[in-house]
Amino acid sequence: MTGFAEFNLDPRILVSLEKMGFQEPSPIQAATMPLILKGHDIIALAETGSGKTAACAIPLCHMVNVESKKIQGLIIVPTRELCLQYAVEAQKIGKEKGVKAFAMYGGEPMGLQLAKIKAGVQLLVATPGRLIDCIHSRAIDLSHIKTLVLDEADEMLSMGFFEDLEFIIQCLVQPHATLLFSATIPPRISLLGRKYMNQPHEVKLSSNQKSPKNLDHQFVYVKNVRLRSTVLSTLIQELAPKQSLVFCESRRQVEEVTRDLKRSKLMGVDFLHGGLAQNLRSQLTSKFRAGKIRTLVVTDVAARGLDFSEVTHVFIFQLGKDIDTYVHRSGRTGRSGREGLAISLVTSYELSLLPPILKKIGREINWLGEAPDVPSHTNSSPKSSGARGGKKRRPSRFSPPQTS
Ligand code: AMP
C-alpha cells in the first residue's frame, strides 16, 4: 500500500500509481490534492519537477465519470510539448480506471483531433490557440467541464496568452473549479484569481524554498566572451555527462553553440527551439527522452516544463537577467531526488548578476577552476570554494582554456 491510500482514491488509481512507482505523495501533491478533491479553487506556486502534473491529474482521474464520453476536465498549458507530456502522465494515472486523456495542440490536423475527442475524452489537455480555434468553430462541447486547470500560468502570460485565457474562462458558464499552477505569481495572475476564481486557496510551498540539496551549482569564469563555446565543449568532454541541457539566450545562439559543439567533435549533440517545425520538435523530444541525444542545446521556451528526468547536467551558456530564469534552468536537473549539477559560464559582463542568484538559491559562490578578481561593487565573494572543496561531481582540476 502506498502513501496515496490516505486520500481515499479510486482503487484503480492506486493500482496505476503503484505501477508507475509512485510511493509517497510529493509535498505539492500532499498540499493540493485534498483541496482539489473537495472541489476548492486553488492557486499553487509550484515548479516543474515538484510533481505538479500528478498533483492535479490524480484527483482529476479520480473524479471523472468514465461512463460519460464528455470532456470533464480541461487543462490549458503553454506549449505543445508540455501538452503531450501532461496527457501522457494523466493517461498513465487513469489507465486502470479507463480514463481517456488527450493532447490537442496546433500544427496537427484539427479534424483528426476532433474525431478523437468525439470518440470519448474525459480529460482534454490543450494549448490556448488550438482550443480557441475549436471554440470559434463550435466544434467542441465544453458544457460538462467540472474542473479547469491553468498550468504554468506565468509562462502563458509571458507568452501573451492573457486575453486568450480570459476568453476561455468566460466560455465556461457552468459551475466549475479552477486550479492555477504557476512558478511565480505576477500581478496579472493575482488579477485572474480575483476576477474569475472563487476564494482560491493559496498553496505556496516554494516561497522560502532554497535550491534542493541534491542540486549542485557551480560557476566557471570565462575571461573572454569569444571563448565560451570552447570552454563549454571542454567542460562537456571532461565531465562526460550522461545527459545534459545547454541553455542559450536566443535561437541564434542555440544554433551557433550547436555548430561549435559539433565542430569540436562532440557526439550526440542536437538543438531544440521554437523556430523548428512541430513534428521535428516532437521527434527531438522523443529522441532526447530515449537517450539518443546526449547534449541538447535549447532556448527557455523550448525546454520549459519538459520532464527530462534523466538530465544529469545543465549548462548555462549565458546567464539571463531574470533570477527566476536561472532557477528554471538549473531546476531541469537534480529532479525527483536524483543528483544534478548546474554549471554557468560567467564572463565579466555577468558578474553583477551573481549575488541575487546566489541569494535566491541560498548558496555560496562555487567557482569551478579559476575565480575572477571581483570588483567590490558586485558584492560577490571572489573566493573559489569550488577549487578547494573537492565536491563529488567536479573533475579534479578543471582549467578552462582561456587564451584565444
Ligand atoms: P512534474 O513536476 O509534474 O513535471 O513531475 C516531475 C516528475 O516526477 C515526473 O516524471 C513524474 O512522473 C514524477 N513524479 C510525480 N509525482 C511523483 C511521486 N509521488 N513519486 C515519484 N515520482 C513522481
Q: How many Cβ atoms are within 10 Å of 275's Cβ, its own excluded?
A: 12
Nine-digit cell string for 294: 546526449
- Does the 3-204 domain belong in CATH 3.40.50.300? yes
> For all residues of the chain together, what is the average pLDDT?
88
Residue 106, classed as helix, strand or coil, is coil
* pLDDT tens per residue across span 305-342: 666 778 999 999 999 888 878 988 888 887 766 789 99
Are the C-beta atoms of residues 62 and 17 closer than 8 Å to each other? no
What distance in angstroms lies between residue 281's CA and the mean position of ligand 1's atoms?
23
313: which strand partners? 244, 341
User: Best of 58, 181, 336, 338 to mutate for ligand 1, by most ligand atoms within 8 A of CB?
Assistant: 336
Residue whose CA is at the smallest distance from ligand 1 atom 19: 25
Q: Quick check: CB of 50 below 6 Å from ligand 1? A: yes
Q: Which region among 56-60, 212-216, 353-357 has the lowest average model confidence (pLDDT)?
A: 212-216
Q: Residue 2 pLDDT more than 70? A: no
User: Given pLDDT bands bounded at 50, 70 and 90, which one contains residue 115?
Assistant: very high
User: Do 3-204 and 215-397 have matching folds?
Assistant: yes
The Cα–Cα gap between 69 and 289 comes to 32
Q: Quick check: CB of 22 below 6 Å from ligand 1? A: yes
Nine-digit cell string for 383: 573566493
Q: Quick check: CB of 48 below 6 Å from ligand 1? A: yes
* pLDDT tens per residue across span 233-281: 999 999 999 999 999 999 999 999 999 999 998 999 999 998 888 888 8
The Cα–Cα gap between 184 and 367 comes to 28
Q: Quick check: CB of 52 below 6 Å from ligand 1? A: yes
pLDDT value at position 379?
45
pLDDT value at position 309?
76
Q: Quick check: CB of 32 below 6 Å from ligand 1? A: no
Are the C-beta atoms of residues 51 and 29 closer than 8 Å to each other? yes
* pLDDT tens per residue across span 198-234: 999 999 875 455 677 788 999 999 999 999 999 999 9
Q: Quick check: CB of 51 below 6 Å from ligand 1? A: yes
Q: Quick check: CB of 72 below 6 Å from ligand 1? A: no
Q: Residue 394 pLDDT more than 80? A: no
pTM of the shown model: 0.66
Taken in order 122, 128, 132, 134, the sign of the CA dihedral is: negative
The Cα–Cα gap between 235 and 400 comes to 8
Domain ranges of the chain: 3-204, 215-397
Superfamily designation of domain 215-397:
P-loop containing nucleotide triphosphate hydrolases (3.40.50.300)
